[in-house]
Chain A
Amino acid sequence: MDLRLPSKVLEHILSFVDSNEDRNSVSLVCKSWFETERRTRKRVIVRNCYAVTPEAVARRFPEMRSLTLKGKPHFADYNLVPDGWGGYAWPWIEAMAVKCPSLEELRLKRMVVTDECLEKIAASFKDFKVLVLTSCEGFSTDGLAAIAVACSNLRELELRECIVEDLGGDWLSYFPETLTSLVSLDFSCLDSEVKLSDLERLVSRSPNLKSLKLNRAVSLDALGSLLRLAPQLVELGTGSFSDKLDQEAVSKLSQAFSEMKELKSLSGLWDVLPEYIPLLYSVCPGLTSLNLSYATVQMPNLVELLTRCSNLQKLWVMDLIEDKGLEVVASSCKELRELRVFPSGAEGLNDTNVAMTEQGLVSVSEGCPNLESVLYFCVQFTNAAMITIARNRPNLKCFRLCVMEPFAPDHKTQKPLDEGFKAIVERCKDLQRLSVSGLLTDKAFEYIGTHGKKLRMLSIAFAGDSDLMLHHLLSGCESLNKLEIRDCPFGDTALLENAAKLETMRSLWMSSCCVSFGACKLLSQKMPKLNVEVIDEHPLETRPDSSPVERIYIYRTLAGPRLDMPEFVWTIQKNPEIGVSHLAIK
């Protein structure tokens, strides 16, 4: 008796399985389930573009409609990955153009995207709807024009923190009059001014527009007329908020804001002048997300705004908010889930706001029961504060503390911050992401290895004493997926002893540590399923095995060595004849 479900029935059942994690499990059941699942998967996410080839992905998921790709390692955001390392979108777009011409959505993060890529997208995918580029680079506004002119069903075009060669604002004028499907437009990272009349016409003919994020060049005056055309916006990123307006223009703008009944997310607000803060009062009660990273007003103005934001769930703000302001957040924003506080000083240490200390974060941890994600830049911190925070908020999922002074101890006791981080990992049992900083010894990492069982991503800088540190982490953190380390005295032994662990992780980044060239070679030989990349500006051929390398990036892959490596990236496949000489490992 054949007990198998007919594939049509299985397909129907699987159409209700949405999450990729579940679908991955489904595909492991048996061959027929694997087949049915792969033929019906619409949304594919590849979190390391070098882990698998584009052809393999296209072959496995022929009905793919949405593809998400990530390229460079996270530390590329902080200039630690040299230009030209890789992460090219072209091979993916080229392959999909042939094999998946029905592709509708492309989301790329930290990849190199050229104008040719954008032109290829515009020419190849007839029903293209969504393009979201995050922290990408390599293209110009000409490429945007190509997308605008050709994608007649475009719904989303979002450029988040991209580095774009800005040839002017003409690109916006290329959206045809027939395009009425726009739902989201984000050009906040561009510098040039777009033609206001074209923008207004685009907005007026887009009844489904829900999200509009303008660039700084859009004046406050222009904002008024845009808001009147799109009062239905759910997400708004303003342009510059500092032009001088006359009384009539101000009251018109105020009126426009008060008409925006659906607004949930507000950002932009570049250089906002204190006298314009009241313009925002009418939308505050409805806001769930507020990004004040560029709002350079002082604490009293910020407080006026935040007392009115009782439904706020996500707040990004500069340290201009100070401890006092964070106390207000703690008492007013009871729904807060995510807090990010950025430094306001241009010179890093010297300029930062000293009226913001660890106390600010402690207040928020006391007052906001749903707080689960924190990114906090601060000059110094204390163990006591972290212990209190951990006690208050065992539900933390993401804790990223950046004590800006490297090696800074607890400023009250002068001890390392080991005990503080111990409290965090011990109490916050669901902690998935952790960034540590300040003075830390190997003990801190012993605690993290012992307690951080759900930890998936860990970032470390200027910490620890020895190899033990890395050993604790690799042997203890069972769920570890991404580990990135800079300027720590980790060396060969821990890496080689825990080599097998690396196959269970997505990637490991180490820069300015103490990993020797010989260890890299040995690791490459031992672990053929990993790409072990040595990224070093100085030629490696003549290096002795004992000399430390500048950076290593290790990731598991099914694709084998990549073919697009620049000169300064070495893998063992490049020089297979270099043998591994006398590296004694016990």
Chain B
Amino acid sequence: MELDLDLSLSPHTNSSNFGLGFDLNKHLNTKEKSFDAMLGLENMEEDCYVSKPRSFSLNGQSDKEDDDPLEPDSSVVYDEEENCKVVGWPPIKSCMKKYLNYRHRSRNHPYHHHGRRINISNQPATIERGGPLTSLRSSMYVKVKMDGVAITRKVDIKLFNSYESLTNSLITMFSQYQDCDREDTNFKFTFQGKEGDWLLPGDVPWKIFAESVHRISITRDCLCPYTRLLF
């Protein structure tokens, strides 16, 4: 991807008297190299306007829900921190960028999105920690309360990309601590959104869920000795 450097080369190419002899051509090349290097975009298609892929779950697989035409296309990747083609340009602080991107996305229907859309094939992508391109990506921890368990746990929603991966991980996490055979147990998940309403898995598309989930509650129906005592 190229930044359009539309410069006229005529009157302003004063070479320096110091013998380093910069001319704009050389200058342009250096710049382009540094943009590409900075953005790590050597192999990206021309049309894409996204510079950083989002992190996917540890499984690395994108969800089959992509096929639903009404759902925001999860293969179009947005990076909340970037709203421009060049890192840190225009110079706007990340909280404002985050807000502008949120506003931009919520105003536009996925199919009439401003600008060009791309389809990045479903490959696992990771955010490099500590690289020049990463800005601090805040994780999103939500509380998970399981029936009969005194301690509420916390899980980072941003590590997952589907209801299935989330629920599987939660079941695994709790099974470690409860003497409950997961095969025998019927788990029921409900999610509380920011407005306080409770939803079932799949009620809203994953992307929207991931932005607005506030709390998770798990009830279970199992044949372990503890619950037998309760009922």
Contacts and interface: CB of A to CB of B under 8 A. Distances in A.
A187 interface: no
A348 B130 contact: no
Interface string A410-423: 00001010000000
B13 interface: yes
Contacts of A271: 103
Given A346-B100, A407-B5, A468 B89 contact: no
By Cβ-Cβ distance, the 8 closest A-B pairs, closest first, are A346-B104, A78-B88, A348-B84, A466-B16, A512-B34, A79-B135, A346-B100, A441-B12
A504 to B, nearest CB: 22
B76 to A, nearest CB: 14
Contacts of B114: 347, 350-351
A137 B81 CA distance: 15
B89 A348 contact: yes
Given A78-B88, A189-B95, A84 B130 contact: yes
A548 interface: yes
A465 B11 CA distance: 11
Interface string A399-431: 000101011000000101000000000000000
Given A166-B138, A347-B84, A548-B30, A493 B20 contact: yes
Contact of A78 (B22, B85, B92, B130): B92
Given A489-B22, A566-B130, 18 more contacts: A78-B89, A78-B92, A82-B134, A83-B131, A135-B93, A163-B94, A163-B138, A270-B99, A345-B100, A346-B101, A346-B105, A347-B114, A465-B14, A466-B18, A468-B16, A489-B30, A492-B20, A512-B38
B198 to A, nearest CB: 15
B140 interface: yes
Q: Pick the most buried of B16, B88, B90, B94: most chain A CB atoms within 10 A of its CB.
A: B90
A522 interface: no
Contacts of B27: 465, 489
A82 B136 CA distance: 9
B131 A82 contact: yes
A345 B108 CA distance: 13
A92 interface: no
Nearest to A548: B30
A80 B83 CA distance: 15
A544 to B, nearest CB: 16
A79 B95 contact: no
B25 to A, nearest CB: 11
A5 B86 CA distance: 61
A487 B91 CA distance: 13
B100 A344 contact: yes
B83 to A, nearest CB: 5
Contact of A466 (B22, B89, B94): B22
A514 B141 contact: no
Interface in B132-185: 132-136, 138-143, 154
A238 B77 CA distance: 32
Contact of A486 (B12, B22, B88): B88
Contact of A164 (B88, B131, B138): B138
Given A78-B88, A348-B90, A467-B18, A568 B130 contact: yes
Given A487-B34, A512-B34, A550-B34, A193 B141 contact: no
Contact of A167 (B84, B93, B135, B154): B154
Interface of B: 3, 5-8, 12-18, 20, 22, 24, 27, 30-31, 34-35, 37-38, 49, 81, 83-96, 99-101, 103-105, 114-115, 129-136, 138-143, 154, 194, 214
B22 A537 contact: no
A294 interface: yes
Contacts of A461: 89, 91
Contacts of B141: 165-168
A547 to B, nearest CB: 11
Contacts of B133: 79
A296 B134 contact: no
Contacts of B143: 167-168
Interface string A27-55: 00000000000000000000000000000
Contacts of A217: 194
A161 interface: yes
A517 interface: no
A56 interface: no
Nearest to A189: B95
Contacts of B7: 407, 439
The B interface, classified by DSSP as helix, strand, loop or mixed, is: loop
B14 A467 contact: no
B18 A493 contact: yes
Contact of A347 (B34, B37, B83): B83
A351 B113 CA distance: 12
Contact of B88 (A75, A161, A349, A465): A75
A289 B89 CA distance: 27
Nearest to A349: B84
24 contacts: A77-B93, A77-B94, A79-B87, A82-B132, A84-B130, A135-B93, A137-B136, A166-B141, A168-B143, A294-B99, A344-B100, A345-B83, A402-B91, A406-B3, A441-B14, A442-B14, A465-B16, A487-B31, A489-B22, A491-B22, A493-B16, A514-B30, A548-B34, A550-B38
B26 to A, nearest CB: 8
Interface string A460-483: 010001111000000000000000
A468 B17 contact: yes
A161 B95 contact: yes
A9 B143 CA distance: 60
Contacts of B214: 192-193
A548 B18 CA distance: 18
Contact of B104 (A342, A351, A442): A351
B12 A83 contact: no
A348 to B, nearest CB: 4
A490 to B, nearest CB: 9
B38 to A, nearest CB: 7
A565 B174 CA distance: 39
Contacts of B92: 78, 342-343, 377
A462 B112 CA distance: 33
Contacts of B34: 487, 512, 548, 550
A31 to B, nearest CB: 45
A347 B115 contact: yes
Contacts of A493: 16, 18, 20
A331 to B, nearest CB: 28
A293 interface: yes
Given A346-B103, A347-B104, A351-B104, A82 B130 contact: yes
Nearest to A270: B99
A346 B94 contact: no
Contact of B13 (A293, A342, A465): A465
